Amino acid sequence: MLYKIYETQRSLMEPFSDLAHSASKVYGNPLSMFGQNPFAQRISAGYDLMHRLGKDYEKPEFGLRTVDVDGVEVAIHERVEIDKPFCELRRFKRFTDDQTTLGKLKGQPAVLIVAPLSGHYATLLRDTVKTMLKDHKVYITDWKNARLVPLSEGEFHLDDYVNYVQEFIRHLQGIYGNCHVVSVCQPTVPVLAAVSLMASRGELTPLSMTMMGGPIDARKSPTAVNNLAMNKSFEWFENNVIYRVPTNFAGAGRRVYPGFLQHSGFVAMNPSNHAKSHYDYFKDLIKGDDASTEAHRKFYDEYNAVLDMDANYYLETIRVVFQEFCLLNGTWNIKGVDGKIEPVRPQDITTTALFSVEGELDDISGSGQTEAVHSICSGVPKSEQKHLEVKGAGHFGIFSGRRWREMVYPAVKSFILSHQPVAAKPAPVVDPVTPVKIEKKPSAAPVKREEVATKNVASKSLRKK
């Protein structure tokens, strides 16, 4: 019922939001009659803010068209490599006509970025992708909004998430021989499970795993998010936050954890910060500070765009990760695509290097939660393990923004490169020498003896005269 109420309220607000957007443009135009009002700029700013607070935010696009690689502008072509019912494996293919740059691109490591399925779209990692494209072949998991997935596609469980990750890893291994994996926030746990299962079966595992701000051990430095998940019962979540998708969506009837509830929870964590941000946006509009207003729009266009999660996946994540701590207790069993049940044993990982990254001020995954991965991956040599705590960084700062680009990415890049096999240098290609056909110049026509004798007689006659 709550989902229907929310959709009804959103539908009722939509025309008012559109009207506010139009009014903002009318008052913001100095050539219009309303724009002559001495308070026109303030009125326009007020209507603009009203529009943004009431509008519906759809899934943004990555919008990555080019990337700078050592001073050369490289074109980006975004395409879907694998299309699953609940996820797309998206690739960012790079193109250039510069032969030197092309040679560099071909030898760079292949990286699978596993984006979080926790309410926001994968585009939240746009800065992560853009930065890594300079030095890596980048793929990312682009999770679908569960309310748009028809019931005919079946349910989606945490086990399915783990199986998806394994399939994507094998796909990259089939193309490049092997790859590196980077997981941000929520996927650190299922990614670790996926690689553990591959290791237990004796499969080839990724060259390295980089785990950033994830709840490997949510008992350490618990945050408000952790406390909610740990202090409420499983039945409470099932009875209070799970709803069926309304009939006006493709996934009508599917049980989901709605994105608007997740978004409300995030806002409720820091309501004063969001209120101040919107007020600053209002003042920047009045001042005409285009740079600041555009930065605000870009952030909230991403932050306010949310997706629904299948109820089975969400509830199982609550139970496995935050209530029973199955990964840490060695009690997590996963059903594979073949129906076989297998235990998750991180200690079986031996050939995959491990890098953990945490933000000093992370209010979603507290200090020590991600670093805990090192203690349970006992089979990885200590020389192949590394941990980084980013001073002054919050949760988003470790994968987006200045601290990500200046402090985290150089360390991630160096770690991946240090575990990338050195490709054998190809033998120099020698162009075959094309035989040149030398054409003989036609010789002068032969002179007959009679002609020579006649010429000699004539010369003698002239000398006598």
Please check whether residue 48 is in contact with residue 21, taking contact to mean a CB–CB distance below 8 angstroms: yes
| pLDDT above 80 for 424 | no
| pLDDT above 70 for 432 | no
**Token representation of residue 55:** 């509008």
pTM beyond 0.85 = yes
Total domains in the fold of the chain: 2
| pLDDT above 60 for 105 | yes
- Distances 179 to 98, 125, 317 between C-alpha atoms, Å: 25, 19, 26
| pLDDT above 90 for 433 | no
Q: How confident is the model at residue 441 (pLDDT cuts 50, 70, 90)?
A: very low
94 and 162 in a single domain? The answer is yes
Pairing of strands 137-143, 208-212: unpaired
Residue 297 lies in a domain: no
pLDDT digits (tens, 9 = 90+) for 25-83: 999 988 888 888 889 999 999 999 999 998 989 999 999 999 999 999 999 999 999 99
74 and 37 in a single domain? The answer is no
Alpha carbons 123 and 338: distance in angstroms, whole number = 32
The residues pairing with 357 across neighbouring beta strands, listed in sequence order, are 212, 388
140-170 burial, b at 16+ Cβ within 10 Å, e below that, comes to bbbbbbbbebeeebebbbbbbbbbbbbebbe
Taking residues 414-422, report their average pLDDT: 93
208 and 128 in a single domain? The answer is yes
CATH code for position 321 = 3.40.50.1820
Taking residues 288-312, report their average pLDDT: 93
Please check whether residue 398 is in contact with residue 212, taking contact to mean a CB–CB distance below 8 angstroms: yes
72 and 30 in a single domain? The answer is no
Residue 166 lies in a domain: yes
The residues pairing with 99 across neighbouring beta strands, listed in sequence order, are none
Please check whether residue 211 is in contact with residue 357, taking contact to mean a CB–CB distance below 8 angstroms: yes
- Residue 193's contacts (CB-CB under 8 Å, 6 or more residues apart) are 162, 327, 332, 334, 344
Taking residues 274-292, report their average pLDDT: 93
Q: How confident is the model at residue 309 (pLDDT cuts 50, 70, 90)?
A: very high
Please check whether residue 259 is in contact with residue 245, taking contact to mean a CB–CB distance below 8 angstroms: no
Taking residues 172-192, report their average pLDDT: 97
| pLDDT above 80 for 429 | no
**Token representation of residue 400:** 């987006």
144 and 166 in a single domain? The answer is yes
90 and 201 in a single domain? The answer is yes
Residue 18 lies in a domain: yes
Positive or negative torsion for Cα 247, 251, 255, 260: negative
Domain of residue 380: give its range: 68-258+308-418
End-to-end CA gap in the chain: 135
- Tell me what pLDDT residue 44 has: 94
240 and 374 in a single domain? The answer is yes
15 and 73 in a single domain? The answer is no
Q: How confident is the model at residue 423 (pLDDT cuts 50, 70, 90)?
A: low
Alpha carbons 162 and 167: distance in angstroms, whole number = 9
- Tell me what pLDDT residue 326 has: 96
- Tell me what pLDDT residue 436 has: 43
| pLDDT above 80 for 2 | yes
| pLDDT above 90 for 216 | yes
- Tell me what pLDDT residue 443 has: 46
pLDDT digits (tens, 9 = 90+) for 338-396: 999 999 999 999 999 999 999 999 989 999 999 999 999 999 999 999 999 999 999 99
Residue among 114, 310, 122 at smallest CA distance from 193: 114
134 and 253 in a single domain? The answer is yes
pLDDT digits (tens, 9 = 90+) for 116-172: 999 999 999 999 999 999 999 999 999 999 999 999 999 999 999 999 999 999 999
- Tell me what pLDDT residue 249 has: 93
Taking residues 293-308, report their average pLDDT: 93
113 and 233 in a single domain? The answer is yes
